[in-house]
A and B are shown apart, each in its own frame.
Chain A
Amino acid sequence: MAYTISKLTDYSAAALERASAELFSALGDEASTVKNEGDWKIFRDRWMARKNGVLTQINDLWLKAAPKEAKREVGLRVNLIKEQVEQQVADAKVRYQIPELPISSATSEISETNLRRDAIGKAGIIDITLPGIRRPIGAEHPVVKTTNEMVRVFQRLGYSVAEGPVVETDYYNFESLNFPPNHPARDTQDTLFIAGQQAKPQRERLLLRTHTSPVQIRTMEKMRPPLRIVIPGTVHRNDPLDASHSPMFHQIEGLAVDTNITFGDLKGTLDHAMKEFFGSSVKTSFRPSFFPFTEPSAEMFVSCFICGGSGRRGTDPCRPCKQTGWIEILGCGMVDPNVFEFVKDNGYDPRKVSGFAFGMGADRIALLKYGVDDIQLFFQGDVRFLRQWA
């Protein structure tokens, strides 16, 4: 039997209370029958419709009809009823959407705990320890990453990046770097040659550059001093693949030429760069070496960044530095005057300018830095390897 609004004849507090209780009871009963959107719309309209909704009727039958002296009291009541109706209508909607939500009584206490528990909802809590679904991000190649990092170190020191071809002429790879034809120093380069070059003069014959040094000459031909360049690039040697050799590898070369470049500048620049790359605690040491295109020539060692220079890792010998505490990182030297002679006309008179050059193996540094034990892993595209840098 549906609830109907009765006219009020008695405006006493007790009478108002009775009428309100009757209304709230009906409101609760009807709210509990709402099971779906259709029910809810009917429920909402019965109580809140502007035409003939219960609230409108109360307004008309109770408030408007009330004698002047009772209007204030009735107004307060009607407002309270309005609030409750709106609340119940809203709750009813949530309830059929999330059926387990308890029907809140008009007088129920609202506590923090209840709110949290209510917010969990019917499905309960989930296992937040299961791993997240990661949209895969590609991994940088360790050699490219190492190269980029090293190049950035030199860019910050004022070096611009330069490039040159992988397929080079004898002139740029050897002759202009002070490797005369038939010089034994060429033997150390294990060169891979391009086929079908016999008809050409020796200096025009093509080969796979054995170092990035040809870019020194190529750049000096194009740009006048002062010059500061860093040259990353692929090089090739006739070295069969094994754990520490690859016929293809990567170098990072550098060249600085100015009117006042000294051997001390070479040492200072490389010392600074190594501290920036490996960390400020590394030390550098230089030993005499031989390269046809530099003189004096040196090999640079850094204090072992794996064992900190002690030669030991705990009780074990440190293998990367062969227990010496030092790791050879690069070859370098003052640019040989014979090299400048080839670009003398572009401002590189060896009596007026001096310079230094250096070259290092990016793959080798990556091997050492990440403790990779086989250079071949770099060039196989094995995702089990590559993903380690993800």
Chain B
Amino acid sequence: MKISSSWVREFVDLSVDDRRLAEDLTAVGIAVEGISGSGADTVFEMEIGTNRPDAMNHYGVAREAAAIYDLPLKELSAFSCQLSAKASGAKAQSSVKASNAAQKRRSSTGGGAKKASAAKADSSSASRGAAGSRAPSKQSSQRASEDAAFPITVEEPELCPRFSARVIRGTTIKPSPEKIAHRLQLLDQRPISNAVDATNYVLWEMGKPTHVFDMDLLEGGRLIIRRAKDGEKLKTLDGVERTLSSEDLVVADAKRPVGLAGVMGGFDTMITDKTKNVLIESAWWDPGTVRKTSRRHGIHTDASHRFERGADFESTVLSCDLVAKLILESGGGELVGGAIDVVSRQMDQAPIVLRLSEVHRILGSKLTTGEIFRILKKLGFGVIPEGQADAKFRVQIPSWRLDVEREIDLIEEIARLHGYDKFENTLPAYRGAVVELPHAAADATLRERALALGYNEAVSLTFISHAAAESFSSGAAVLEVENPLSEEASVMRTSLAPGMLDMLARNLNRDAEDVRLFEMGRVYEMRGGERVEPARLCLGATLTAVKNALPAGAVLDVSKGEHAAAAETFRSFKGDVENLLAAFAHNQLSFDRETAEYFHPGRSARAIMDGAAVAQFGQIADDVKSERKLRQDVFLAEIDLEQLHRRGLRQVRFAPLGKYPAVERDFSFVFSDDMGFEAMRRAVMGLGIPELSEFKAVEIFRGGAIPTGKYSILLRARLQSDEGTLRDEQIAAWSGQIVKALQELGGVQRV
């Protein structure tokens, strides 16, 4: 929002320069984000919080400035006595005084010109009087003015508690005077014509949206504030024909809607250069209704922005008059009748009790009653001290501060004007212990290990496409985004795999080939009607990276060809997964081939820890590779942290070091390809030889003298006793048992 500093200065005599003014406004929360232009054309770029519609205009900013510097705020008034005398004998003088804290109360009689002016007089006296207010008189739900100037009927008094209007006859529509046009242009507003610009000018001047109709185009010579009929049509000022519903509030003439209440006027009744007679409207609309209508039709206007946040109830007549004055000054014409002011319901701003003790309890600073009193007065609050020992104030809220409803709201006003930085910094006493999240240690361990293994930590977006959700489905129902940014980001991820593949592809496309990434994060799915967010860890690596990580000395399969290479790279990647899993408590870790379809069927595995699947990993399937245009094979591991969390970290228990020398015995066997090492290891370990501390594969070979479909494997047993040096006969006996067990698996010993 833009604010002209010279316009602000019209309402308060400021001695500070623009830069200082900007800083001081910012310090009280009327934030100036930038300054442009110079001299009289200096413009502040403002950032006003949604709770402060009262400051979204020049008079409102001036009011804050007056409070900051404790200077008088000039009155905003429309008509001199001379002008109002011309206005068909009505007492049209209206004004608002900044420091007028009194609650304005008006008992509407729903009248025409005479009655309206009576109401006006009533309100004036109330406003000048003390805080005392009369309860609104009982009112019928329907108000009509049988006015000579223009009859108004409010059928929805709850949604339109106040509707004010003015009539001008015989004016000329033409461009605005230079001063008006220039000011609007400074604020990036496009001048249109004197009448339209007048409403815009008043909006920016004092914040109250108004609307002007070509009165001759209003059929039936009357206005009705009513709900729209379902299916009723209205072409709004932007030229769009809109279909209304009964939830929309409209301003209608005798035949049709002519404006969407508080949002936008109608196209067919707008001011044109042929317009002679003008009806000015300024109402107070129910914020919720304006908001709903604005959302339903997707129209956000300067008017709806303010009405949604709450306009000044007491500014309807004044704003009409200010618009009228501008039109009369530029286009001439005559004000007909008095101010029309239909008040169907009062705004109830009850006084607030403010306790000194509460100010101190929340702010911590010992502000005095004098300081508090002065701050509130400067901001236009009416303050009546109450009680001596238990210091209290009864605070009247100005009509433009609909955001101030509670004691805490007043405490904020006090803190704001006092200056946040003036409060002393203190540290509260501390009691209680710091509690870690249950899985913090496990997650930190995994993260450290992944980093140590050379995986770079990555964070990917949590959205995936429908296609990816299908390809990487866990079987659970997915969570779709109602208003996604794109189809690519329309489903909450159910797996970290698609994001990881995207990141790997991105790197490969940028000629980074040695890539290792990991991501720890949550996935999102529905289980049994409940949403769950299980934690996962995903490793991703390119073939280049996996190969580079394979230490030359660790090669098992010494045969030539693709099969051995694939086996060795798989083992290289598997070792990383094992390093992560090894941190967790378990008795048994085994592997099978039950992996998702996006894994290569022959080069992927599922890790099972004590009966529960904890991970699937391996090379990605060829079709996924080509679909995603991956420039080389990549490896993924998806680790289920829920399962690992359940197990917890392995607790280390010291095992005594062997005192007696270990003996190693090698066994060279030929097996058929379908016999895996794990079966051999299980068979041998299953012999129950306590001295057998390790059984491992040392070398694998295919080809040469070994027939197709078979392979040679060199196995090594490590034997060690806690009781003494092993004797040759013992070793020979165990070796015999091992050979027998391997032979029972179909192995043929090579000698």
Tell me the A residues contacting B by CB distance below 8 Å: 135-141, 143-144, 155, 157-163, 165-167, 182, 184-185, 187-188, 192-197, 206, 208, 226, 228, 234, 236, 238, 240-241, 246-248, 256, 258, 260-265, 267-269, 271-272, 285-290, 295-298, 334, 336-337, 354, 378-384, 386-387, 390
Q: Is B431 an interface residue (CB 8 A)?
A: yes
Chain A: minimal CB distance from B81 (Å)? 40
Which B residues lie within 8 Å of A157 (CB)? 430
Assuming the contacts A193-B481, A238-B483, asked whether A264 and B461 have C-beta atoms less than 8 A apart, the reply is no
B455 CB contact (under 8 Å) in A138, A194, A297? A138
B482 engages A193 (CB within 8 Å): yes
> Known contacts A166-B462, A264-B425, A265-B426; can you find 14 more A-B pairs with CB under 8 A?
A138-B451, A159-B434, A208-B492, A234-B521, A236-B462, A258-B428, A262-B361, A267-B426, A268-B426, A286-B420, A288-B28, A288-B29, A288-B415, A381-B499
Assuming the contacts A238-B483, A287-B26, A383-B507, asked whether A143 and B309 have C-beta atoms less than 8 A apart, the reply is no
A379 CB contact (under 8 Å) in B365, B437, B459? B459
The list of the 10 closest CB pairs from A to B, nearest first, reads A262-B364, A288-B29, A381-B503, A290-B49, A264-B364, A268-B425, A136-B454, A138-B451, A286-B420, A296-B412
Q: Is B647 an interface residue (CB 8 A)?
A: no
Chain A: minimal CB distance from B459 (Å)? 5
Q: Is B463 an interface residue (CB 8 A)?
A: yes
A264 engages B459 (CB within 8 Å): no
Contact with A along B280-295 (1 / 0, CB 8 A): 0000000110011000
Q: How far is the CA of A166 from the CA of B26 in the complex (A)?
A: 34
B485 engages A238 (CB within 8 Å): yes
B531 engages A167 (CB within 8 Å): yes
Which A residues lie within 8 Å of B240 (CB)? none
Q: How far is the CA of A298 from the CA of B421 in the complex (A)?
A: 11
Chain B: minimal CB distance from A375 (Å)? 11
Q: How far is the CA of A369 from the CA of B518 in the complex (A)?
A: 23
B423 engages A383 (CB within 8 Å): no
- Stretch in contact with the other chain, from B509-517, B657-665, B726-734: B509-517
B363 engages A262 (CB within 8 Å): yes
Q: How far is the CA of A188 from the CA of B49 in the complex (A)?
A: 10
Which A residues lie within 8 Å of B705 (CB)? none
Which B residues lie within 8 Å of A136 (CB)? 454, 516
Assuming the contacts A236-B462, A285-B421, asked whether A383 and B456 have C-beta atoms less than 8 A apart, the reply is yes
Q: How far is the CA of A144 from the CA of B444 in the complex (A)?
A: 12
A383 engages B50 (CB within 8 Å): no
Which B residues lie within 8 Å of A138 (CB)? 450-457, 516, 518
Which A residues lie within 8 Å of B411 (CB)? 295-296
Q: How far is the CA of A196 from the CA of B489 in the complex (A)?
A: 17
Pairs across A and B, CB under 8 Å, 11 listed: A136-B516, A166-B533, A194-B481, A226-B431, A264-B425, A265-B427, A267-B423, A287-B26, A288-B416, A381-B500, A383-B456
Q: How far is the CA of A354 from the CA of B484 in the complex (A)?
A: 39
B459 CB contact (under 8 Å) in A141, A194, A298, A387? A141
Chain B: minimal CB distance from A140 (Å)? 5
Q: How far is the CA of A378 from the CA of B455 in the complex (A)?
A: 16
Query: Among the interface residues B434, B436, B489, B533, which one has the most CB atoms of the partner chain A within 10 A?
Result: B434
Q: Is B506 an interface residue (CB 8 A)?
A: yes
Which A residues lie within 8 Å of B506 (CB)? 380-382
Q: How far is the CA of A234 from the CA of B462 in the complex (A)?
A: 9
Q: How far is the CA of A228 from the CA of B485 in the complex (A)?
A: 36
Assuming the contacts A163-B437, A195-B481, A263-B362, asked whether A268 and B427 have C-beta atoms less than 8 A apart, the reply is yes
B614-648 with Cβ < 8 A to chain A:
none
Question: Interface of chain A, helix or strand or loop or mixed?
Answer: mixed
Q: Is B392 an interface residue (CB 8 A)?
A: no
A196 engages B480 (CB within 8 Å): yes
Contact with A along B401-417 (1 / 0, CB 8 A): 00000101101100110
Chain B: minimal CB distance from A267 (Å)? 5
Closest to A143 in B: B459
Chain B: minimal CB distance from A263 (Å)? 5
Q: Is B256 an interface residue (CB 8 A)?
A: no
Chain B: minimal CB distance from A260 (Å)? 7
Chain B: minimal CB distance from A304 (Å)? 16
Which A residues lie within 8 Å of B288 (CB)? 182
Q: How far is the CA of A158 from the CA of B436 in the complex (A)?
A: 11
Closest to B458 in A: A381
A379 engages B460 (CB within 8 Å): yes
A263 engages B364 (CB within 8 Å): yes
A387 CB contact (under 8 Å) in B416, B421, B437, B456? B456
B423 CB contact (under 8 Å) in A162, A264, A272? A264
Which B residues lie within 8 Å of A141 (CB)? 456-459
B476-530 with Cβ < 8 A to chain A:
479-485, 489, 492, 499-500, 502-504, 506-507, 510, 512, 515-519, 521-522, 524
Which B residues lie within 8 Å of A139 (CB)? 451, 456-457
A226 engages B26 (CB within 8 Å): no
A264 engages B424 (CB within 8 Å): yes
B49 engages A354 (CB within 8 Å): no
A206 engages B49 (CB within 8 Å): no
A165 engages B515 (CB within 8 Å): no
Q: How far is the CA of A117 from the CA of B288 in the complex (A)?
A: 93
Q: How far is the CA of A285 from the CA of B425 in the complex (A)?
A: 11
Chain B: minimal CB distance from A387 (Å)? 7
A260 engages B428 (CB within 8 Å): yes
Which A residues lie within 8 Å of B451 (CB)? 137-140
Q: How far is the CA of A263 from the CA of B481 in the complex (A)?
A: 39
B426 engages A264 (CB within 8 Å): yes
Q: How far is the CA of A137 from the CA of B455 in the complex (A)?
A: 7
Q: How far is the CA of A140 from the CA of B517 in the complex (A)?
A: 10
Chain A: minimal CB distance from B515 (Å)? 5
Q: How far is the CA of A295 from the CA of B403 in the complex (A)?
A: 12
Closest to A352 in B: B361
A182 engages B503 (CB within 8 Å): no
Chain A: minimal CB distance from B232 (Å)? 23
Contact with A along B426-448 (1 / 0, CB 8 A): 11111111111100100000000
Assuming the contacts A167-B524, A295-B408, asked whether A248 and B461 have C-beta atoms less than 8 A apart, the reply is yes
Q: How far is the CA of A195 from the CA of B481 in the complex (A)?
A: 5
B482 engages A290 (CB within 8 Å): no
Which A residues lie within 8 Å of B52 (CB)? 290
B420 engages A390 (CB within 8 Å): no
B425 engages A271 (CB within 8 Å): yes
A267 engages B420 (CB within 8 Å): yes
Which B residues lie within 8 Å of A247 (CB)? 461, 463, 485, 489
Chain A: minimal CB distance from B501 (Å)? 10
Chain A: minimal CB distance from B401 (Å)? 14
Chain A: minimal CB distance from B526 (Å)? 10
A381 engages B362 (CB within 8 Å): no
Q: How far is the CA of A146 from the CA of B707 in the complex (A)?
A: 58
B533 engages A167 (CB within 8 Å): yes
A188 CB contact (under 8 Å) in B50, B479, B515? B50
Chain B: minimal CB distance from A157 (Å)? 7
A289 CB contact (under 8 Å) in B29, B408, B480? B29
Chain B: minimal CB distance from A143 (Å)? 6
A384 engages B425 (CB within 8 Å): no
Closest to A337 in B: B408
Q: How far is the CA of A386 from the CA of B288 in the complex (A)?
A: 48
Closest to A378 in B: B459
Which A residues lie within 8 Å of B428 (CB)? 256, 258, 260-262, 265, 268-269
Closest to B504 in A: A381
Q: How far is the CA of A241 from the CA of B461 in the complex (A)?
A: 11
Which A residues lie within 8 Å of B423 (CB)? 263-264, 267
Assuming the contacts A236-B462, A286-B420, asked whether A263 and B363 have C-beta atoms less than 8 A apart, the reply is yes
Closest to B47 in A: A289
Q: Is B27 an interface residue (CB 8 A)?
A: yes
Chain A: minimal CB distance from B618 (Å)? 20
Assuming the contacts A236-B462, A289-B49, A290-B49, asked whether A194 and B456 have C-beta atoms less than 8 A apart, the reply is no
Which B residues lie within 8 Å of A390 (CB)? 456
Which A residues lie within 8 Å of B365 (CB)? 262-264
Q: How far is the CA of A181 from the CA of B590 in the complex (A)?
A: 53
